[in-house]
Amino acid sequence: MLREKLQGYTIVLASGSPRRQQFMRELDANFEVRLKEVDEVYPDNLKGAEITDYLAELKAKALEESLSADEILITSDTIVWHEGRALGKPRDFEDAFAMIKSLSGKTHEVITSVCIKSMKKSDTFHEITKVTFNALTDEEIKYYLENYQPFDKAGAYGIQEWIGLVAIAKIEGSYANVVGMPVDKVYRHLINFTAKK
């Protein structure tokens, strides 16, 4: 469906995330991966979705000069927003342990922003999903970190892994968003993006 709707265009996915790449394959999108290192620094005054919107657009700016007329760029950024603080990817085991410990028995938000950009226009949007964790023991947190090593994931966990089965009591909103991309919104925005050209 998406391949037909976007006939004549190639999607450029600026993400090394295997989960986001898998989502694009499942959408049957004609895409290629193009990566450029970006220093993910944002102004201190930004909160919640303002952070991910800013970073998704920052990543898009880094690649916009490489776009050709028939390419549509997709960049994205995900954070875990908890108690007024952004949790990105953990620095190390101890940082990951502290992150999950802070989430244990509480509700947090997973925020993903997506920027869709061509040579002529740009569209940025975000999705917020509320996730409630059961209380976890130190032993359970260590088991998860040692066996799954989720150090490339915001908030130091992947909902599709062991921790998602045993620790998550409730989810309000998009499951795919917690995995790494609000796929339903990406699909709709891509179709609208090309329809308005």
CB hemisphere CA count around 113 (13 angstroms): 21
d(CA 144, CA 57): 33
Tokens in use for 42? 């944002």
CB count within 10 Å of CB 2 equals: 18
List all residues 6 or more positions away from 116 whose beta carbon is below 8 Å from its beta carbon. 72, 73, 74, 122, 123, 124, 186, 189, 190, 193
In the set 53, 70, 77, 95, the catalytic residue is 77
Cβ atoms 189, 123 nearer than 8 A: yes
Tokens in use for 15? 């993400």
123 is catalytic: no
**In degrees, to the nearest 5, what angle opens at C-alpha 174 toward C-alphas 125 and 76?**
35
d(CA 168, CA 185): 23
Among all residues, which ones are annotated catalytic?
Answer: 77
